[in-house]
Structure 1
Amino acid sequence: MTVEAAHAPRHVLEDELLRVEIAPALGATITSIRHRPSGAELLWRNPRFNLPASQAESGVDLWLRAGAGGWQLVLPNGGTECTYQGVSHGFHGEAGLQSWRARAGVRRLALSTELSTLPLSLTRTVTLAAPGVLRTDTTVLNTGADPVEFMWGEHIGFGGDLLDDPHLELSCSSADITADDEYHAASNPLTAGARSRWPHADGPDGPVDLRRPRPGSSSLAYLSNVEQPITVTAPGLGVAVAMRWSSTFPYVWLWTELGGEQGPPWFGKARAIGVEPFTSWPSQGLTKVAEKSGTQLRVPAGEGITGWVKTTVSETERTVP
């Protein structure tokens, strides 16, 4: 089913538990995941979406103005705009900004596009695989004559009614934590570049429990050696979202923006928790990824790489304080 929405039509997938909206013209973004029994929206809305362009617009401004929020594809660059191997890449790359072709099936949407910055052909399916189970399967094919290096991430931003629960909790059995070394927001509670073990990150004012994101904070960290799943539970809603992903993504970017950034670009208006499977880190663009971690992908000519992410939404015992 297709519905008209502001700025771009959405394709809708539905089952007993979920209503999912995908916008092919907005980078194949999953703009909404709604839990039907409660009516709760689970994804974030970008408060800067579709604002008028400014004369001082940067790469990140373009991404924020053009992106609706929700679950976005980040490829072939992640984070800061840069020039890498002679190619200019915008903030978070072009895949999440351009229009994709779409073909609808039963509880399934098939999408495809080609990039202009690199010779990459992308195919992606979004499927309601079972009641409450949403899965993306993506293939990236190098159609050029030379190897191609790039980054790929699934920018999954939780928000909406989910973040209205003051007892929201993130759970994970085990992970290594590295705080971003260039994230200097005044409301960031993490020590830049510090390494620790889940669930506590190092902070200048003492350990920070990442299971319970702090209201009014803004932070970015990278998880590795993650024992899946990562689960986001809102006991007040009686809803839990468990995430699993393929080995294509060895890292998870954990981004929180809970009204902490009072300056640009958010001015205190953004409320999101990003749990983002990624091939590479940090969120500083391909050039610095190659320098700092060497985790960029390298795909030979004529070959491809695949990856999947699965979210399972379940109902839990509802606890109201």
Structure 2
Amino acid sequence: MEPIGSEAIEERIAGVRAVRLENERIRAVILVGKGADVWELVYKPLNVDSLLKTESGLEILSGRDLHEEPLVHYADPYPGGWQDILPNRARFGDSEIGRSQEGEAACLPWDYEIRREEGEVSLICRVSLAGAPLSAVKTFRLAEGESVLSLEEEVANTGEEPVRFIWTHHPAFGSPLVDERARVNLPEGARVFADAPGALDNAAGDSPREALLPDGRRKDLHRIDSRRPDGESGYFPLAGFEQGEAGIDNPHLRLRLRLEWDRSTFPCLRYWSRNDEEIYTVALEPSTSRYSDIGDCIRHGECIALDPGERHSAWLRVRFESYS
């Protein structure tokens, strides 16, 4: 494969404005017209897009101007890909962002700027939220010859009173990376949060606990179930690990994906899987909290708290490795 260096190309997908970052090993498509979502994350030597696409994908947004008609919830409709759920929940003054409005940052178009430097291209995305006093700057970087997409993000309180919020990144991985031959690699020392539905007490060694699915079956979180008509959805928050790293190994493809993140910001990993005919995915979601309720998060000190004008920075990156 001849090197192409690092480049950025503006395009539209189903009418949604996007920027494609590409080098000789990775192609990443960022939906600047919707949430600065990562829509494609392709390992080019194997032509494998690692992210889930739902059947409707982006077509359901075709012709919709999110400046004029923004989404209300990050997953309504849900196209797949990788969303930035900011805020997941929030409280400021007498106001609260609850479940029905979570993830405003993924519901809006972002302003953007492309920068090209020797050996590297970056995409800088900016947004100010209307529902919560927050703004965000998200910078994607892709260097020549590397199999790593890097993301740096800064969130600021733009209001006049303190804000406390849950922040979650939601990368949902899909086929062909996700199949029954693949194995989920979880952070060493991680355990299913004891208060979560489905948590069990039969942990063994350094492996995460098995989880209990709605039908009563025990699920090994390292394994991926095959796709089937009567498949199930499972959600399990994990905590207790020291290093922010998880991923998926697929020996059939001879490919490893590793998601690495700032554990000081995201000490929890939310694990979501689904294996029915509509959606087949494993989502590995770095989050600030094990809890879904903002009140619980505040009581247990598991949210980000920003005073007016204060900022908080975090980073994530995705790395591909092929092996023989």
TM-score by length of 1: 0.81
Structure 1: distance between partners of 2:173 and 2:194: 20
The CA deviation at 1:230 is: 1.3
Gaps of 5+ in 2: 1-8, 62-70
Return the offset for 1:87.
Answer: 3.1
Matching residue of 1:22: 30
With over 3 angstroms needed to count, the CA separation of the structure-2 counterparts of 1:179 and 1:84, relative to structure 1, is farther
Letter paired with 2:103: G
Q: Figure out how many residues of one structure are paired with residues of the other and give that number.
A: 289
1:122, distance to aligned residue in structure 2 (A): 0.7
Residue type matched to 1:272 in 2?
T
Q: Percent identity?
A: 25
The residue aligned with 1:279 is: 288
Counterpart residue type for residue 143 of structure 1:
T
The aligned runs of 1:176-215 (5 Å cut-off) are 176-178=191-193, 181=196, 191=198, 196=203, 198-203=207-212, 207-215=218-226
1:288-308, Cα deviation, whole Å (9 max, x unpaired):
5446x4412211111110110
Q: 1:287 deviation in Å?
A: 4.1
1:297 to 304, 312, 318: 304
Which residue is 2:54 aligned to?
46
Judging changes above 3 Å, is the alpha-carbon distance between structure 1 residues 288 and 47 closer, same or farther for their aligned structure 2 residues? Answer: farther
Relative to structure 1, the CA distance from residue 149 to residue 8 in structure 2 (aligned partners, 3 Å threshold; closer, same or farther) is same
State the match for 2:271 in structure 1: 254
Task: Name segments (4+ residues, structure 1) moved above 6 Å.
Answer: 81-84
The residue that corresponds to 1:115 in the other structure is 129
Q: Give the residue type in structure 2 aligned to 1:120.
A: L
How does 1:1-321 map onto structure 2 within 5 Å?
A: 1-47=9-55, 49=57, 51=60, 62-78=73-89, 85-89=94-98, 90-106=100-116, 107-129=121-143, 131-163=146-178, 165-172=179-186, 173-178=188-193, 181=196, 191=198, 196=203, 198-203=207-212, 207-215=218-226, 216-228=231-243, 229-246=245-262, 247-259=264-276, 268-282=277-291, 284-290=292-298, 293-317=300-324
Once the two structures are superposed, residues 84-112 of structure 1 have per-residue CA deviations (whole angstroms, 9 ceiling, x without a partner) of: 94234434320111110011123210000
| 1:14-51 deviation line (CA, Å, top 9, x unaligned) | 11211110001111000000111111110011335454
Please give the alpha-carbon distance, in whole angstroms, between the structure 2 residues aligned to 1:209 and 1:200. Answer: 8
What amino acid does structure 2 have at the position aligned with 1:255?
W
Q: Is the 1:181–1:193 contact (alpha carbons within 8 Å) kept by the matching residues of 2?
A: no
Partner-residue secondary structure (3-state), 2:176: helix
Amino acid at match of 2:278: K
Structure 1 Cα separation of the partners of residues 287 and 202 of structure 2: 18
Name the CA distance, whole Å, in 1 between partners of 2:185 and 2:91.
Answer: 34
Residue pair 1:180, 1:193 contacting (<8 A) in 2 also: no
Deviations 1:240-298 (A, max 9, x none): 11121112111110111111xxxxxxxx401111111111222x34245446x441221
Question: Root-mean-square deviation (CA), in Å?
Answer: 2.7
Secondary structure, counterpart of 2:155 in structure 1: strand
Measure, in 2, the Cα distance between the counterparts of 1:9 and 1:220: 31
Residues 33 and 235 of structure 1: CA distance in aligned 2, closer, same or farther (over 3 Å): same
Q: Is the 8 Å Cα contact of residues 255 and 274 (structure 1) preserved in structure 2?
A: yes
What letter matches 2:30 in structure 1? I
**What is the CA–CA distance in structure 2 between the aligned matches of 1:98 and 1:192, rounded to whole Å?**
35
Return the offset for 1:207: 4.8
The alignment's TM-score, normalised by the length of structure 2, stands at: 0.80
Structure 1, gaps ≥5 residues long: 53-59, 183-190, 260-267
Q: Which moved more, 1:207-216 or 1:249-258?
A: 207-216
Secondary structure of the residue aligned to 1:96 is helix
For 2:143 and 2:248, locate their aligned partners in 1 and report how far apart those are by CA, in whole Å: 20
Distance 1:193 1:82, change over 3 A: farther
Q: Which residue of 1 aligns with 2:5?
A: none
CA contact (8 A) 1:179 1:222 kept: no
| Residues in 2 aligned to 1:83 and 1:312: alpha-carbon distance in whole angstroms | 36
Q: 43-52 or 16-25, which moves further after superposition?
A: 43-52
